[in-house]
Structure 1
Amino acid sequence: MTLTLRFDDGTVRIVSDGDEGASTLAELAADCESLERDERSGGYRAPAYRYADLRAALDDRGVAYRDRVLDTEPLSLSTRYQLREYQQDALTAWHDAGDRGVVELPTGAGKTVLAIAAMAELGVPTLVVVPTIDLLEQWRRELEAEFDVPIGQFGGGKQRREAITVSTYDSAYLKADDVGGAFGFVVFDEVHHLGGEGYRGIARLLAAPARLGLTATFERPDGAHEAIVDLIGPRAYSLDPDDLAGDHLAEYEIRRIEVDLTSGEREAYEEAQETFVDYLKRSGISMNRGSDYRELVKRSGRDPEAREALLAKQRARRIVREADRKVDELGRLLDRHRDDRVIVFTASTDLVYRLSERYLLPAITNETGAAERREVLDRFRSGEYSRVVTANVLDEGVDVPDANVAVLLAGSGSEREFTQRLGRILRPTEDGPGALLYEVVSEETAEERVAERRR
C-alpha cells in the first residue's frame, strides 16, 4: 500500500495505488471533517492549510506515505540576534504548540527579531506577510541585513519570488494560489488583519505547516480572531506593556485631561445629541452592539428621520473631537514638552491640518505621499523635527521613530487603537525620559464613555 500527498490548486490531495490504501483513506476521512472525496483523482482532498493536520493524522495511525506537497529545499540560516528572556520564552511556547500560533507582544518588544530567530531555527523557505508597503520595505531591509540569501518581494511594484519572500496582504491574496506549496513557514505580521474575510484566503491556500502570527493586539471586536485561531493556531504567548515596562520598554504614565466645551459648542452638542437620542428611543435601537449602529446606517438609506439622527450623531462627535479648548490645551502641552519628542493623534484629517497650521506642526495623513511621509519621519528621527501630528496613519504598519510623549486629542473606543498609539512611545532610550501619554477628553460628553471603553 502506498499513499501519496500532493499540492494542487490550493488543496492537498491524497491518492492511493491500491485497495488497501483506499480503505485506509476512507477510515481517515471518517475521522477528519476537512477531508472529502475527490472524484477526479479517486482519492481525497483537503484545504491546503490542513496539510499539517493530515500528516499528523497519518503519523498517528502509523500509515506510510510519500509527501510531495512542498516544493522546497532546506536553507542554511543564522542570526546574530541574542533573544531576550521573554523572546526566548515566546519562541519556546510557539515551538511547544507545534510551530503554530500567535505571539502577542507590545509595540517595540522585538516581534521581528523573534520571527527571524524562528526562521533561522526552522531553515525552510519562508513567506512573510505584512499589511503595508512601509512594513514590507522595513522587513526586506531587516532580512537582507540578517541573511545572506536573496530576498523576494510581492508588492510595491515587484513580483519576485525567492526562498525568503516578503509580501503585502493584498499581493499574498493574489499569489497564494500559485505559491501554496513553495513555503514551509509563513509569518503573518499584524496578524489581526488576517481576520478580514478576504485575507483569510491567504492562509487557507498556503500549505506551510509552520505558521506564526505577530501582533500587539490579537482579539478583534468582531470576534474574527477565532477564524485566525483555526487558520494558524491559538495564542501561544502573550505579554502586555505593563509586563515589560521598566526593563525592556519605557516606563510610562497616562494622564487624562478634561476640557469643557465653549458655550456655543455645548449648545450645538446638546441639540445634536437630543436629536440622536430621541430617535433611538422611538426606534427601539439601543446602540449596545456594533450591529445596532449598522442597523441605523441601514435605516438611514430609506428613513429621513434615521438619516437625520445619524447626521446629528456625526455632528456631536465632530464637536467633541475638535473642540476649541482641546486645541488650546495642545498648545500648553507642546510648550510644556518643548524639549521632548511628541506625536499628536487626532481622529480627522481636517483637525490635523488645522493643528499643523496653528502650531506649525509637520503633518501626516492618508493624503500624504509616501516620499513626503518618509521625509517627515526621517527628519523626526534625526531630531530636525521634534513633533508631528497625524490622524490614523501612524497607528500601525509604519516604522515610527522614537518619541516619548503622545497626545490623544481624539480617537475611537478601540482598545487596539489605544494600545498601538501607546506603543509608539514605549521604545526605551538609554538614560532617556519615561513615556507620557495624555488623553484630552471633552467633559460631560459621550467622549468620556469612549475613553473608558478603550482603556
Structure 2
Amino acid sequence: MKNTLLFKDLNFPPTYKYSSDSNHIPLEFYEDTFPIAKTIDLLLGYFSSNAIKVLSKSFAEFIYNGGKMRLITNHFLSENDFDNLLDNTEINNEDKIIDIFKNLEDLEKNLSKEGQHFFDCLKFLLKKKRLELIPVKFNGFDLAHCKKMILFDGKDYISTDGSINFTLSALIKNSESFQLDAPWVSNVSKERIEEEKVNFEKIYSNQHPNYKQIDKKEIEKVISNIGNDKNIRDLLDDSIKLGSDSYSKKVNFILTKKKERFNTLIEKIDNTPKFPFPQGPRKYQKDAYNEWVKKDYSGVFAMATGTGKTITSLNCLLNLYKESGNYRAIILVPSIALLNQWEEEVKSFNFKKILKVGGGNNWEKDLANYSSNYSWGLKNDLIIISTYGSFVLDRFQKLFQKIQEDFLLIADEAHNMGANNIQKKLKDVKVNKKIGLSATPKRIYDPEGTLAIDSFFKDTPPYTYSFGMAKALEFGFLTGYKYYPLIVELSECEFEEYTEISKKLLKFFDFDKGKFRDDPIVEILLLKRKSIIHKATNKLDLFSSIIKELIKNKKNKFVFAYIPEGNTTNNDGDTVKILNEYLKRIHNNYPKLKMNSYTSEDQNLEEVLRGFEDGKIEVLFAMKMLDEGVDVPRAEVGIFASSTGNPRQFIQRRGRLLRKHKDKAFATIYDMVVIPRLESNLGELFNIEKNLVKNELNRVAYFASLAMNFYDSKEALNDVCQKYDLDLDTIINEL
C-alpha cells in the first residue's frame, strides 16, 4: 500500500503533547505515525521490554509499508523489563540488570505474545536488511531511561522529547507523557529536531564521546534465535490478535479502529499478486524483463531447461500488474502435465483468476461469459492456461479473438508454435505483448517453422534474452553432470541393410558441397537408414550392462531411461513395442529392480512420478513424455537409448537430469552413440558416413564440453574420431 499521507496531515494535539491522562494518549501517536514513517531512528537507554510491548502494537504496519529502522541500544534488560517480556511472572526487583545473552533460554521459553511479536518483526526487518542494530556501552554515562525517537515521512522529520516510560501500564495509568517536535510548529522545534538528528548520527557513526559501539552480531543472533520466520501477512494478523482486555476505553477504541484497518490490509495481501519467494527475482530474471521491455514487449527467452523460464515469464506479468493494477494473460503449453504444473506456478504468484482450457476442463461457458462482459467494458483479471491442441480449436479462437488485445501471451516450449496446425492460426493472433519460452527455439529440419516463430515474436537469434546451459552451470542454477558417451555398433544384419541404403544414397551425394541433393527419394532413404540406427538391437545389451553396473555400485535409484519409439520384431518373429522388449529384458535379468513406464498410454502419471520421487520406483522408462517441461528434480541418472538425431530432445532430456535437488550432488548421463561398424571398410561411402558421424558428434561434443569429466568423454570417442579423421576439440570450437 502506497501512502500519500504525511505527518503534517495528521491531527496532532494543539499542544503537541501526549500523556496517558489526556485525550491524546501515547498509543495514539504510535498508531498514527508509524504507518506513515519511512524511517524510524530509535535510541533506547537499554533494550527495554516495555518499549517492546508498546511498540509491537504499531510495528507491523510500519513494516508493511516498507519502513526502515535504526535502533541504538544497550544489550541489557532490567529485571523488571526482563520479566515484563515473560508470561505469568512476578516483578521483585526493578533495578536489577540482566544480560539477555546469558538469559536467552528463559526468554525463548516464556516470551509473552507482545514480546514474541516484536522479535518476529525485528527478525523480518533483519532478513530484509531494513533494520540496523547498534549496541552501545555508555562509558559510565547514565542514560538508562533515555528513550528518544526520530521519525521521517519522506518530507519532514519529527522527534519526541521527554522521559518516555514505554510501560504497558502507562497505557492505562497516568505515567507516560512526552513532547513532540515538528518543523512546522516553530523555529525552536526545528532546532531541537536538528540537534537530535546530529546527536543520533554521532552515536550511529561511533563519533560520540559518551558512547562506544560493541559487536552487533550477538544481539542479531538473539533476535534470530527468538524471532520466528513470518511473512508480512502473518505479522499484521498477529498484531491485531494482541490482547486488550485490561486496556482503557480510549485504548480499545484505537485498537478497534486499527483492527478494522488491518483486516482490510490482510484482505488486500491475500488477493494481491506477488513474487513467490521472499528474496525476489534473481538478477538474470530482472535482466530478462528489462530486455523484453526494450524489445517493445515481444521476444523469445532462450533459457536452458531448469533455469526458471516459468518464473521469469510470470515475473514479467507481475511487473505489468504492478504498473497497471490488473492482469490478463494466456499461457500455451504442449501437454496436460504442463497445464497442471503451470497452474501451480501461477497460483504461487497469488494470481487468483485462472481458467484452464484442455485436459477435460469445462471452459466454454466461463470464457463465453468473460468475453461478453469484456465487450461491455468489464475487463476483469484472468489468466487462461491452454494446451496448444485446445488453442487452435475454432470455438476457442472465436471467443479469444474478441478479448485478445489486452492479453499477454506466454508460449511455453515455443518451438511447438512452428507446427503447421498452429502456424495457420498465428495470423489471427493480435496480442501486443508476447513471450516465447524454449531451451531450443530453433526447429531442427524445419526452417519454415523456425522462421514463423521468429516472425511471430519479432525476434531472431541470439534472441531477446538468452541464458544457456554453460552459464546456468557456472552460476550454480543447475547440477553438474558426468557424461559417458557409449559407442554402439550395428549388428551384422543391420549393417548390411544400412550399407545397401547408403549405396543408393551415394548417387545423390554432392561431394563438392558435402551434402545430399534435394530429392524426395533422399528423404525416404535417410528415414529408413535413421530407423536402423534408432532401433539398433545392440542397444538393449548395452542397456542391460549399464543397469548391472548401477546395481553393483548401488546407484540404481532415481534412474530415467529414454527408450526408442516404435515397434520391432522379436525372436519369434512377432511385431512388438521396443519399450516392452526393454521392460521384459530388464525384468528377466534383474527381477528385484522396481521399474515402471511413463508414456501417454499409462494411467495415473502423477502417482508414477510421485513414486519415482519417493524412491519406490527405481527406474522410469519413457519415450517422449518427459521431453517437455515436466519437473522431476530427484532424477540422478539418465540412460539415453533413443537416437532420434534431434538435438532438441537431447538438450531437453539432459535438462530433466540437471535440476537441483538437496540430495543430488551431481547427475550422470549415459548416451548411446550408434555408428555403422568401427572395423568396416567404408570405401566410397566414407565421405557420406563422415558427414553423418560429424553431425552426431556435434551433439555429443557439446554435451561433453560442459561435463565434469570432459577428458573421460573425449577418450571414449577417440576410436571413432580416428576412424573418420575428426577432431573433437575442433568440433567443440566450431559449435
TM norm structure 2: 0.46
In the other structure, the counterpart of 2:413 is 190
- 1:241 corresponds to which of 463, 466, 469: 469
- TM-superposed CA distance for 1:321, in Å, is 6.4
In the other structure, the counterpart of 1:314 is 531
Aligned pair in 2 of structure 1 residues 359, 320: CA closer, same or farther (>3 Å)? Answer: closer
SS in 1 for 2:671: strand
- TM-superposed CA distance for 1:348, in Å, is 2.6
Unpaired segments of 5 or more residues in structure 2?
A: 1-270, 322-326, 371-381, 567-576, 588-593, 678-688, 701-735
In the other structure, the counterpart of 1:210 is 433
Aligned pair in 2 of structure 1 residues 326, 433: CA closer, same or farther (>3 Å)? Answer: same
- TM-superposed CA distance for 1:411, in Å, is 1.9
Task: Map residues 155-304 of structure 1 onto 2, 5 A cutoff.
Answer: 155-158=358-361, 159=363, 160-161=366-367, 163-174=382-393, 175-183=396-404, 184-221=407-444, 222-223=446-447, 224-234=449-459, 235-246=463-474, 247-260=476-489, 265=491, 267-282=492-507, 294-296=520-522
In the other structure, the counterpart of 1:116 is 314
| AA of the residue aligned to 1:166 | I
| AA of the residue aligned to 1:216 | A
- TM-superposed CA distance for 1:311, in Å, is 5.3
Higher-RCO chain (CA-CA 8 Å, sequence separation at least 6): 1
- 1:88 corresponds to which of 267, 275, 286: 286
Unpaired segments of 5 or more residues in structure 1?
A: 1-74, 299-305
Listed one character per residue, the Cα deviations across residues 122-168 of structure 1 (whole Å, up to 9, x for unaligned) are 12311111111111111122223432522101111222436111001
- TM-superposed CA distance for 1:295, in Å, is 3.2
| AA of the residue aligned to 1:171 | S
Aligned pair in 2 of structure 1 residues 322, 372: CA closer, same or farther (>3 Å)? Answer: farther
Listed one character per residue, the Cα deviations across residues 49-105 of structure 1 (whole Å, up to 9, x for unaligned) are xxxxxxxxxxxxxxxxxxxxxxxxxx9633334211212211211111111100011
- 2:580 corresponds to which of 350, 353, 361: 353
Aligned pair in 2 of structure 1 residues 398, 338: CA closer, same or farther (>3 Å)? Answer: same
Aligned pair in 2 of structure 1 residues 120, 157: CA closer, same or farther (>3 Å)? Answer: same
- 1:423 corresponds to which of 638, 649, 655: 655
Give, in whole Å, the separation in 2 of the partners of 1:345 and 1:272: 25
Paired positions, count? 367
- TM-superposed CA distance for 1:276, in Å, is 0.6
Give, in whole Å, the separation in 1 of the partners of 2:517 and 2:596: 34
Contact kept? 1:322, 1:351, Cα under 8 Å: no
- TM-superposed CA distance for 1:289, in Å, is 6.7
Contact kept? 1:100, 1:212, Cα under 8 Å: yes
Aligned pair in 2 of structure 1 residues 201, 118: CA closer, same or farther (>3 Å)? Answer: farther
Contact kept? 1:259, 1:326, Cα under 8 Å: no
Is 2:621 aligned against 1:389?
A: yes
SS in 1 for 2:585: helix
Give, in whole Å, the separation in 1 of the partners of 2:516 and 2:359: 34
- TM-superposed CA distance for 1:284, in Å, is 6.0
Listed one character per residue, the Cα deviations across residues 258-315 of structure 1 (whole Å, up to 9, x for unaligned) are 2455xxx2x20221122212222356699977985853466xxxxxxx7xx9757634
Give, in whole Å, the separation in 1 of the partners of 2:519 and 2:636: 36
Larger C-alpha radius of gyration, 1 or 2?
A: 2
In the other structure, the counterpart of 2:344 is 141
Aligned pair in 2 of structure 1 residues 291, 185: CA closer, same or farther (>3 Å)? Answer: farther
In the other structure, the counterpart of 1:21 is none
Contact kept? 1:104, 1:238, Cα under 8 Å: yes
Aligned pair in 2 of structure 1 residues 337, 96: CA closer, same or farther (>3 Å)? Answer: farther
Aligned pair in 2 of structure 1 residues 423, 444: CA closer, same or farther (>3 Å)? Answer: same
Contact kept? 1:187, 1:213, Cα under 8 Å: yes
In the other structure, the counterpart of 1:327 is 544
Aligned pair in 2 of structure 1 residues 181, 211: CA closer, same or farther (>3 Å)? Answer: farther
Is 2:632 aligned against 1:404?
A: no
SS in 1 for 2:421: coil
In the other structure, the counterpart of 2:697 is 452
- TM-superposed CA distance for 1:374, in Å, is 2.1
Give, in whole Å, the separation in 1 of the partners of 2:506 and 2:698: 23
> Percent same amino acid among aligned pairs?
24
- TM-superposed CA distance for 1:218, in Å, is 1.0
Is 2:301 aligned against 1:103?
A: yes
In the other structure, the counterpart of 2:274 is 78
SS in 2 for 1:126: strand
- TM-superposed CA distance for 1:386, in Å, is 2.7
Give, in whole Å, the separation in 2 of the partners of 1:96 and 1:272: 55
Aligned pair in 2 of structure 1 residues 186, 328: CA closer, same or farther (>3 Å)? Answer: same
Is 2:595 aligned against 1:362?
A: yes
| AA of the residue aligned to 2:696 | A
- TM-superposed CA distance for 1:192, in Å, is 0.6
Give, in whole Å, the separation in 1 of the partners of 2:472 and 2:302: 13
SS in 2 for 1:245: helix
Listed one character per residue, the Cα deviations across residues 342-390 of structure 1 (whole Å, up to 9, x for unaligned) are 1111223533222222334534354533x33222111011222232121
Give, in whole Å, the separation in 2 of the partners of 1:364 and 1:441: 23
- TM-superposed CA distance for 1:424, in Å, is 0.6
Give, in whole Å, the separation in 2 of the partners of 1:334 and 1:293: 48
SS in 2 for 1:424: helix
Contact kept? 1:130, 1:169, Cα under 8 Å: yes
Contact kept? 2:288, 2:301, Cα under 8 Å: yes
| AA of the residue aligned to 1:251 | G
| AA of the residue aligned to 2:699 | R
TM norm structure 1: 0.72
Give, in whole Å, the separation in 2 of the partners of 1:139 and 1:368: 22
SS in 2 for 1:122: helix
- TM-superposed CA distance for 1:237, in Å, is 0.6
Aligned pair in 2 of structure 1 residues 89, 429: CA closer, same or farther (>3 Å)? Answer: same
Is 2:645 aligned against 1:413?
A: yes
- RMSD of equivalent CA atoms: 3.0
Aligned pair in 2 of structure 1 residues 241, 280: CA closer, same or farther (>3 Å)? Answer: same
SS in 2 for 1:416: helix
- TM-superposed CA distance for 1:443, in Å, is 5.2
